[in-house]
Amino acid sequence: MNLARWLERAAAIDGSRPALALGDAIVCDYRQFADRSARGAGWLRAQGLAPGDRVALFRGNDPDYLLWLWSIWWAGLVAVPINAKLHGLEAAYILGHSGARLCLADGERAGLLAAHVPEGCSIAVGARAGRDARDADATPLGAPLGTPLGTP
């Protein structure tokens, strides 16, 4: 089962309900959340990632973290969350031992990691990657990979 199926279902059932907030501000409703996640998934797959590949998240706690997490799942990839308080060397250790092919980082953490990125892994930095993923030209990946909800 793919957890992104839950998001797809929530968007279909009650897509206009608030899904993500930052303080008092609503960032997106479930329909927008699902669309952005599908676009992010399409962007991730366009980077050459295949179902089962590992993608690390090394960023602070913000709505983009959740959008990327759900994009990873939508694409059938494996999320490798890295604690945002770790040093670049510690994060690089996790990248190397997890087999992550891509690390989605915010600017601060990308800087910490830059000198320590293991071979076979690339870094996509927050704003650029997010803009690429949600650009109108980014092709959304179809339905999330995996078994539909409610299927035995």
- For the chain, list the strands marked E by DSSP: 18-22, 25-29, 54-58, 78-81, 102-105, 122-125
Q: What does the alpha-carbon distance between residue 15 and residue 128 come to, in Å, rounded to a whole number?
A: 27
Q: What is the pLDDT of residue 136?
A: 45
Q: What is the pLDDT of residue 85?
A: 95
Q: What does the alpha-carbon distance between residue 150 and residue 86 come to, in Å, rounded to a whole number?
A: 38
Non-local (6+) Cβ contacts of 76 within 8 A are 2, 51, 52, 144, 145, 146
Neighbours of 135 (CB within 10 A): 11
Q: What is the pLDDT of residue 68?
A: 92
Q: What is the pTM of this model?
A: 0.86
Residue 39's nearest CA partner among 79, 6, 1, 74 is 74
Structure tokens given for 25: 């501000």
pLDDT band at 115 (very low <50, low <70, confident <90, very high): confident
Residues 69/20, Cβ–Cβ less than 8 Å: no
- Region 40-57 average pLDDT: 93
Q: Where are the domains of the chain?
A: 4-134
Q: Is the pLDDT of residue 151 over 70?
A: no
If phi over 0 gives left and psi between -120 and 50 gives alpha, with beta otherwise, what is residue 22? beta
Q: Return the CATH number of 4-134, one of 3.40.50.980, 3.40.630.30, 3.40.50.300, 3.30.160.60.
A: 3.40.50.980
Residues 100/54, Cβ–Cβ less than 8 Å: yes
